[in-house]
Amino acid sequence: MTTIVIKPKNKAEKDFLTTLLKKMNIETHLIEEPIPNYETRKAINDVESHKGTMVKDSNELFSKLGM
């Protein structure tokens, strides 16, 4: 299963992305704390070591997913 860490801009974006990605069998972790937790730090490290991909917004995310 793919895991995506998301920092939603607002509640509507949080609800939309969580629902959509769950239907696509993609696990999501939401960043809601001011200091990154273990999962967030791991995701950041993965992106920095080229094991993950960083996107700016949902349009870029869907483009990377081939949608």
pLDDT digits (tens, 9 = 90+) for 11-65: 888 888 888 888 888 777 776 777 777 877 777 777 778 777 777 777 787 787 7
- Give the pLDDT of residue 42: 79
Separation of alpha carbons 44 and 53, rounded Å: 9
Taking CB atoms within 8 Å and a gap of at least 24, the contacts of 33-36 are none
Adjacent-strand bridge partners of 30:
6
Average pLDDT, integer, range 3-11 = 76
CB 15, CB 28: distance < 8 Å: no
Residue 67, CA distances (Å) to 2, 23, 31, 49, 62 in order: 15, 14, 24, 25, 5
- Give the pLDDT of residue 36: 73
User: What is the pTM (predicted TM-score) of this model?
Assistant: 0.47
Domain ranges of the chain: 2-64
